[in-house]
Amino acid sequence: MLYDLSHRTTYRYSQPVSLAQHFLHMTPRVAAGQTTHRTALSITPEPTYATNGMDYFGNPTTFLSIEQFHSELAIHTRNRIEVKKPPPPDPEATMPWDKVYDAIVADRSLDGLDAIQYAYPSPKTVVRADIETYARVSFPPGRPVLAGARDLTRRIFQEFAYDPTATTVTTPVDAVFAIRRGVCQDFAHFELACLRKLGLAARYVSGYLLTTPPAGQPRLVGADASHAWLSVWCPGHGWVDLDPTNNLLPRDEHITLAWGRDYADVSLVNGVIFGGGEHTIQVAVDVVPKL
C-alpha cells in the first residue's frame, strides 16, 4: 500500500505566548516493511531555531524554539509512505513463552541487547500483582509466545470497551484494568504491562491506521486518527505487531511512526511555553491510499 499521510495539529491560546520550545515525534521512522518516499514538516509561526535529530530509540525528532509572540501554533507534517509488511510467523511455531526471557538474556547480538530493555516495567506500565494472574490465563506453561500474545490480544479486545470519555493520557494502567474501558493507548499499555510481568519483551508503537467509512458513506477528510499498538519479541522471528484495539496482527493498514517503552517516550508534541493562558487543540489526520 502507498499512502499520502497528513497530520495537522493546531494550538490556539487565549493569551499570547512569548516563548515556546517543543520536541516533536512527527516524522515516520525507518521500520521493517515500510519506506518513506518523501516527508515535509511545516510550522507556523516559523521557528527561530529548529533542528532535526534522533532519540535513544532511533525515532526521528525535531526540536524547535519559537521566540516571538504568537496566539496560534500550527504543526503540519506530510508524508508519502509505502507499507508492505511481511506476513507474521505461525504463532504455534514460536518459542515457548517461558523460555523467551532466558533466550533474550543469552542473546548477545544487537537485536537481543535491544530487546532486553523492553522486558521490564516503564513508568506508564507499572502494575499490581493481580495483572499477572490475568495475563497467565493466556500463557499456560509451554505455550508458544505468539500464540499466548495473540490470545491475550483477543481477550483485551473482547473484555475491554472502547470509550474515549473514560480515560485521559495520565490514567494509570491499574485504573484501566479496574474499569475495563479506555482507548488504544490504554489497551496497548495494559497489554505491555501483562507481557512484561511475565518477563516478555514488548514495546509501544505509535502510528496511524487507515479507516474505512461505513458502506455508502463518503470518506471524511481529516477524520483518520493517530493510533497505538505494541510489538512482542519472538526469538528467531523478531518483533511481531499486535493491535488489541482491533484484535489483529497489523499489516499494511498500519503506518508506524515511532516506538519506545510507552507513550511518554514517543508523544507527538512535548514542550514548554511562557504565557498562553487557556488553550484548545485541534487535530486533523488524513491517511489516503494511492491506487
- For residue 237, what are the domain limits? 91-265
Same domain, 271 and 260: no
- Tell me, yes or no, whether 95 and 26 share the same domain: no
Query: 278 and 232, same structural domain?
Result: no
In terms of domains, do 63 and 125 share one?
no
Give the CATH number of the domain where residue 97 resides. Answer: 3.10.620.30
Q: Do 97 and 206 belong to one domain? A: yes
What is the reported pLDDT for 213? Answer: 63
Residue 222 has, within 13 A of its CA and on its CB side, a CA count of: 7
Which pLDDT value is given to residue 120? 96
Give the CATH number for residue 64.
Answer: 2.60.40.2250
pLDDT for 222 equals 42
Give CA–CA dist 104/112, Å, rounded.
6
Q: What is the pLDDT of residue 218?
A: 59
The separation between CA 153 and the C-alpha centre of its own chain, rounded to angstroms, equals: 15
Residue 228 has φ and ψ, to the nearest 5°, of: -140, 140
205 and 117: one domain? yes
Do both 45 and 164 map to the same domain?
Answer: no
Query: CA 277: distance to chain centroid?
Result: 30
Identify whether residues 101 and 231 lie together within a single domain: yes
**Do residues 261 and 274 share a domain?**
no
DSSP assignments along 120-183, one per residue: S--GGG---THHHHHHHTT--TT-BHHHHHHHHHHHHHHHSEE-TTS--TT--HHHHHHHTEE-
Same-domain status, 139 and 70: no
pLDDT by 10s per residue, the chain, length 291: 899 999 999 999 999 999 999 999 999 999 989 999 999 999 999 999 999 999 999 999 999 999 999 999 999 999 999 999 889 999 999 999 999 999 999 999 999 999 999 999 999 999 887 899 999 999 999 999 999 999 999 999 999 999 999 999 899 999 999 999 999 999 999 999 999 999 999 999 999 988 776 566 655 444 567 899 999 999 999 999 999 999 999 989 899 999 999 999 999 999 999 999 999 999 999 998 986
Ramachandran angles phi, psi of 3, nearest 5°: -125, 145
Report pLDDT for 128: 80
Tally of domains in the chain: 2
Q: Are residues 56 and 186 in the same domain?
A: no
Q: Which residue's entry shows cell 538474556? A: 105
pLDDT score for 290: 84
Looking at the fold, whether 247 and 136 belong to one and the same domain comes out as yes
